[in-house]
């Protein structure tokens, strides 16, 4: 069971052809294709070296969960390539032309938010303060549970029946 973003309820991951908002809504081996922040469709994902669609609108998407992203070679085409990896306080996002992700639940903070490169903010332990949007984020498998039931700031807690929060 996972916390589905399309319905904000717990349920099994969506299968091929199912509705999704993010890759995490789809079963392993599937990616969510469609416009950003809109309902998409779970479809098979590409492998390292395969052709991909950087806009994730049609064709293959690269499995972020396996450390791959679509490295753009033209406005509408690319190749699945491995993410670079960065620890806390290291550069992230677009680092020398390589999409670089923060490890261990780190969050890439960019100032301004649309800047090309940012700095990783390390993840925090269960029981520590967190913010699901602004960071720091919780180390896996904990989730940031809002203190007042609204907003994004709260405390890291292990998942349970009262803490279903989208990833």
Is the pLDDT confidence value at 103 over 80?
Answer: yes
Question: In sequence order, which residues have a C-beta less than 8 Å from that of residue 91 and are 6 or more positions away?
Answer: 100, 117, 118, 119, 120
Is the pLDDT confidence value at 161 over 60?
Answer: no
pTM: 0.56
32-56, pLDDT tens digit by residue?
888 767 888 998 888 889 888 888 7
In this structure, the answer to whether residues 6 and 55 fall within a common structural domain is: yes
Residue 161: is it exposed, middle or buried by C-beta count within 10 angstroms (0-12/13-18/19+)?
exposed
DSSP secondary structure letter of residue 24: G
| Domain assignment present for 90 | no
Hey, which residues does 118 pair with through a beta bridge?
Answer: 92
Distances (CA, A) of 14 to 38, 141, 164: 16, 20, 17
In this structure, the answer to whether residues 15 and 76 fall within a common structural domain is: yes
161 compared with 115, residue with greater pLDDT: 115
In this structure, the answer to whether residues 131 and 74 fall within a common structural domain is: no
Domain count, the chain: 2
| Domain assignment present for 13 | yes
49-100, pLDDT tens digit by residue?
988 888 877 767 887 777 888 888 888 889 999 989 999 899 999 888 888 9
The residue range of the domain holding 149 is: 123-160
| CATH number for 51 | 2.10.80
Q: What is the pLDDT of residue 150?
A: 66
> Quick one: how far is CA 69 from the chain centroid?
11
């Amino acid at each position: 069971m996972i916390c589905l973003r399309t319905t904000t309820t717990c349920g099994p991951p969506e299968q091929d052809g199912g509705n999704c908002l993010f890759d995490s809504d789809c079963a392993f081996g599937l990616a969510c294709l469609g416009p950003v922040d809109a309902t998409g469709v779970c479809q098979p994902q590409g492998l390292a070296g395969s052709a991909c669609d950087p806009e994730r609108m049609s064709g293959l998407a690269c499995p972020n969960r396996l450390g791959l992203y679509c490295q753009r070679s033209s406005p509408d085409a690319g190749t699945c390539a491995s993410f670079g990896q960065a620890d806390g306080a290291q550069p992230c996002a677009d680092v020398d032309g390589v999409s670089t992700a923060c490890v261990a639940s780190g969050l890439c903070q960019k100032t301004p938010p649309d800047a090309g490169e940012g700095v990783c903010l390390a993840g925090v332990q269960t029981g520590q303060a967190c913010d699901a949007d602004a960071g720091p984020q919780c180390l896996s498998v904990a989730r940031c549970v809002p203190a007042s039931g609204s907003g994004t700031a709260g405390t890291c807690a292990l998942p349970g029946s009262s803490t279903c929060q989208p990833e």
